[in-house]
């Protein structure tokens, strides 16, 4: 088995969190924030449900991150099932909290991934329009999404990349990708993106595998593939949580290390509001923790 940390080049990370839906989940989130802040991420982001379905929890989480930690905090924003006025009201709330970085997403249709998307009659038609609207509202640092294996609703890869180009042309500063596990797929995608004249950074989304079976179900809904080599890596680990965690950390660290050898030095990690596996991945890569700065999360 290959070992990680073969590349000595420095790299940056950002972390994604989601707003808690129950008191026990809230405690877990803030334990995770406290554990991961020592890795000195470039920023952390907080997800936002389509149509504002997590508006209040998202705002509360963003507020606490800004008020109680030194972490640069990005807030997600979608335009599904929302008028322009409703979206702009959320943006005003974000701005009042001190948010300057927004992750702009169209959002999944209310009826679920794979169903028809219908823009709100008084809303933004797609992410490119949302990005342009955000840029008109203030000097926001805007990130968008990208899909190395194509968004499930895109007709083909060319159409998908054209959608990304529209988002970049509208003012997006970077794209954070859907998770993937085959780095050759990402490299081919990046070549096509650059050939299309898109120059913004394309930041790989890394998903440390908490549960392979659950991941497969989720991946099937969002158009991401799970290579067969992962079945072999996790074989015999179902009833061995410690061994499963070790394999998960090895897989993610090896993926990031390989991407570093290919010249990629920025990573967006989907934490699932859990710290141990993320910690193990970054430890394998030789990243150094830093002393917590003022503003420790309670």
Q: Please tell me the pTM assigned to this model.
A: 0.91
User: Residue 290 falls within a domain, yes or no?
Assistant: no
User: Residue 3 falls within a domain, yes or no?
Assistant: no
Supply the residues annotated as catalytic.
16
**Which domain covers residue 86, as residue numbers?**
12-284
How big is the CA angle at 170 (ends 185 and 43), to the nearest 5 degrees? 65
pLDDT at 296: 41
Q: Which residues of the chain have pLDDT under 50?
A: 1-5, 294-298
pLDDT at 111: 54
| Structural domain count, the chain | 1
User: Residue 103 falls within a domain, yes or no?
Assistant: yes
pLDDT digits (tens, 9 = 90+) for 221-258: 888 999 999 999 999 988 899 999 999 999 999 999 99
Question: Rounded CA gap, 29 and 63, in Å?
Answer: 14
User: Residue 106 falls within a domain, yes or no?
Assistant: yes
CATH of the domain at 262: 3.20.20.220
User: Residue 217 falls within a domain, yes or no?
Assistant: yes
Question: Rounded CA gap, 91 and 87, in Å?
Answer: 6
Average pLDDT, the chain: 90
User: Residue 2 falls within a domain, yes or no?
Assistant: no
Helices (H), ranges, the chain: 23-36, 55-68, 84-97, 127-137, 157-170, 183-195, 212-222, 229-234, 241-261, 276-284
């Amino acid at each position: 088995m290959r070992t990680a940390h073969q590349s000595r080049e420095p790299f940056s990370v950002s972390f994604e969190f989601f707003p808690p839906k129950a008191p026990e989940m809230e405690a877990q989130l803030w334990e995770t924030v406290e554990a991961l802040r020592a890795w000195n991420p470039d920023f952390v982001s907080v997800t936002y449900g389509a149509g504002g379905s997590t508006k209040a929890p998202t705002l509360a989480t963003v507020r606490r991150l800004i008020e109680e930690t030194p972490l640069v905090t990005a807030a997600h924003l979608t335009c599904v099932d929302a008028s322009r006025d409703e979206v702009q009201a959320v943006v005003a709330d974000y701005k009042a909290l001190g948010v300057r970085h927004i992750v702009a997403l169209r959002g999944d249709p209310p009826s679920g991934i794979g169903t028809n998307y219908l823009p709100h009659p008084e809303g933004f038609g797609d992410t490119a329009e949302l990005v342009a609207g955000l840029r008109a509202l203030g000097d926001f640092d805007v990130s968008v999404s990208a899909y190395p294996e194509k968004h499930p609703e895109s007709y083909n890869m060319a159409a998908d990349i054209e959608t990304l180009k529209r988002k970049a042309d509208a003012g997006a500063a970077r794209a954070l990708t859907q998770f993937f596990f085959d780095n050759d797929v990402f490299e081919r995608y990046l070549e096509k993106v650059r050939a299309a004249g898109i120059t913004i950074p394309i930041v790989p989304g890394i998903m440390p595998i908490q549960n392979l079976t659950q991941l497969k179900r989720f991946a099937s809904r969002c158009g991401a593939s799970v290579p067969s080599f992962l079945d072999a890596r996790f074989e015999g680990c179902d009833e061995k949580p410690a061994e499963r965690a070790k394999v998960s950390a090895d897989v993610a660290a090896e993926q990031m290390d390989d991407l570093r050898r290919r010249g990629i030095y920025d990573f967006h990690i989907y934490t699932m509001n859990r710290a141990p596996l993320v910690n193990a991945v970054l430890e394998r890569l030789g990243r150094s923790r830093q002393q917590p700065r003022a503003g420790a999360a309670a």
